[in-house]
Amino acid sequence: MARRPLRERMLTVPEVKKMLDLIGEEKLDQFQRRTFDYASKFSKMDEAKVETLLKTLVEQYGLEEEEAIQIINCMPQSLEELRVFLGGGRKIIEASRLQGILNLLDEYRK
């Protein structure tokens, strides 16, 4: 039987919470339980909507997937906070686009 190669993918905090929740809290080992506690405390949006937000940030706003994931994990609330995730100032992005991203995040924020 041929084995499929493993694929590595970055996850958002809400996705991690959802995956561990599917396993069931009683079946989690110590490390998984700590991770679940962290994800429960720091997840800033509903995990059911993560995929839609991620897709919108990448396709509509032209962000790299890694940038979009970090933005979703932290859910910045100001232009200054948002700029931190966008190449450390190496990218020039119009303020109107940045404001559009913040408005979109506000729609998804818990």
Give a yes or no: residue 64 inside a domain.
Answer: yes
Q: What is the pLDDT of residue 94?
A: 85
User: pLDDT at position 89, please?
Assistant: 58
Residues 58 and 25 in one domain: no
- Number of domains present in the structure of the chain: 2
Q: How confident is residue 25, by pLDDT bands cut at 50, 70 and 90?
A: confident
**Residue from 110, 63, 51, 69 nearest 87 by CA:** 63
pLDDT at 105: 96
Q: Which residues contact 68 (CB under 8 A, 6 or more apart)?
A: 53, 54, 57, 58
- Do 61 and 103 reside in the same domain of the chain? yes
- Is residue 63 one of the residues assigned to a domain? yes
Do 51 and 91 share a domain, yes or no? yes
Residue with tokens 């059911």: 48
**Stated pTM of the model:** 0.84
Q: Are residues 56 and 104 in the same domain?
A: yes
Domain that holds residue 27: 13-42
Residues 33 and 51 in one domain: no
